[in-house]
Amino acid sequence: MSSPKFDRDLGFLDRNGLIEGELEALYKVGRVLSRSLNLHETMKAVLEVLNDETGMERGMIALIDRDNGNLRVRAVHGLDTAEAGEVTYQPGEGIVGATIEDGQSTIIERLEEEPEFLDRLGLYDPKLPFLAEPITIGDLDPVGVIAAQPAPGRVMLLHDRSRFLKMVASLIAQSVRLSWEVESEKRTLTSERDQLRQAVQGNYGLDNIVGHTQPMRRVFEQVRQVSKWDTTVLIRGESGTGKELIANAIHFNSPRSSDPFIKLNCAALPDNLLESELFGHEKGAFTGAVNQRKGRFEQADGGTIFLDEIGEISPTFQAKLLRVLQEGEFERVGGTRTMKVDVRVVAATNRNLEQEVAAGEFREDLYYRLNVMPIYLPSLSERVEDIPDLARYLVDKISRQQRRKLTVSDSAIRVLMRYNWPGNVRELENCLERAAVMCNESEIDAQAIGLTGIEEKLFDQGLKAPSRKKATVNFDDPELDERERVVAALEQSGWVQAKAARLLNMTPRQIAYRIQTLNIKVQKI
């Protein structure tokens, strides 16, 4: 396309020159608008194109402020945008406000003769013509105005220039629509993200971890203190005590809570896969590596990584892990470029690392790097007083999963409190879920708990009647139901039915009948 026939002193030499110049300008305007969704940058560039290619000087674009409905100047050519300040127009106010209210083209042959001219920008030459076009998206109300002054030229071409400005306004409208849609979606996603973060932080807050015993209060205080800093934490405790819950609480109560929280079970992968999973790999690093892949440390950059079962990694991999813990540096598998990340490390193990260090099975330097702030989680047998609250919390959870109302009786809780729970909270949850499956009613009682096999486990562990409690059993206690009284009497009598009958002032035939009807599994000694 040849150069437009435009002269700033004489204007366009003929109508063909005008059309040629406008076509070139429309092409460049389209390219400008396709470059970015940043409205301020693109609109300013559009005004520059209009000035350079068609002599449309002193351009201005104003858009509706969707918060208050006023027109706000967003881009100006011929004046520093900062000088324009926060210039706004209400619909119907001045020439610009009237253009958006009417939705019609504005053509003024001499600006100083227009009484509605406000000159808020101090930009326009009052002796020159003035053109303004509404920016309209489809059949909707106008969302903005584009205005400009043609360079000195023949008045007979003003209507042609106005038609051209209308085409430019139509192109701008599509960019405004797309930009607003993207902005709206971004706001929606940001709002949903913030709501999810609040929900997650609420779910993983310390208030949602059940426990009021002294050992758990000590854990909560440690979590509150350590969450404030980037210190490496090693969570110690038996399997099923809730180490991952504590790791979640540390992250979501820390300054890094809005950044990634990445988890990995180190025991789930062999060394070769573990290295790729943690550090990533380059394309072609090994068979099947068809693409470059970021590892968990890169994904967690700026946030926290939780390495569960850290005691399971081999001595060979321990050396590789030590470097990233010390320096925050590593290379992807098959790569040579050193990656550096800012990651907080929280690890967990149920193994006795001190014994493994002494036996040479765990690197001493890695142990000290991990064990900066140890947090010991007590086993469930050390916090028996928490079992009632835990049981009710877990039953509520099971109730939501099974979509039915469930409660747990006091008699069932008393049975649960007599067991040692070697599987800790995880075993307790499994037991209650089995009881809920076996329970036809809405209440999980002692009989439903008995159907899970707890009574056999109690006998096997020798915990069916601790010696310190045998002498204190009150068979007339109103809180004991009939099944509990019979079981307590059988336990105290060494499962001799005749002796148990005498303790309950029953005949052997009566207690045998109750054993059968109450579905009590008799222990053989």
Domains of the chain: 6-182 (3.30.450.40), 206-378 (3.40.50.300), 380-464 (1.10.8.60), 467-525 (1.10.10.60)
Q: Is the per-residue pLDDT at 506 higher than 90?
A: no
Instruction: Grade residue 13 by pLDDT with cuts at 50, 70 and 90.
Output: very low
Gap between the Cα atoms of 451 and 524, Å rounded: 18
Q: In what order do the strands lie in the sheet with 261-265?
A: 261-265, 304-308, 344-349, 233-236, 373-376
pLDDT for res 125: 86
Is the model more confident about 492 or about 126? 126
Task: Report pTM.
Answer: 0.62
Q: Is the per-residue pLDDT at 296 higher than 50?
A: yes
Q: Are strands 280-281 and 329-331 parallel, antiparallel or unpaired?
A: unpaired
Which residues share a beta bridge with 339?
330
- 150's CB contacts (< 8 A; 6+ apart) are 11, 55, 56, 57, 128, 129, 131, 157, 158, 161
Between vectors from CA 193 to CA 189 and to CA 198, what angle results, nearest 5°? 150
% of the chain at pLDDT higher than 90? 29
Instruction: Grade residue 5 by pLDDT with cuts at 50, 70 and 90.
Output: very low
What kind and span of H or E run contains 273?
A: helix 271-279
61-70, 225-234, 379-388, 488-497: least confidently modelled range? 488-497
- 22's CB contacts (< 8 A; 6+ apart) are 4, 54, 164, 167
127-131, 317-321, 485-489: least confidently modelled range? 485-489
Q: What is the mean pLDDT of residues 466-490?
A: 66
Gap between the Cα atoms of 172 and 329, Å rounded: 48
Segment 71-84, tens digit of pLDDT = 888 888 877 655 55
Instruction: Grade residue 17 by pLDDT with cuts at 50, 70 and 90.
Output: low
Residue 167 neighbours by CB distance under 10 Å:
14
pLDDT for res 471: 42
Segment 390-435, tens digit of pLDDT = 999 999 999 999 999 999 988 888 889 888 899 999 999 999 999 9
Segment 348-400, tens digit of pLDDT = 999 999 999 999 999 999 999 999 999 999 999 999 999 999 999 999 999 99
The token duo for 120 is: 């808020």
Is the model more confident about 169 or about 11? 169
Q: Where are the alpha helices (DSSP H) in 113-240?
A: 158-203, 214-226
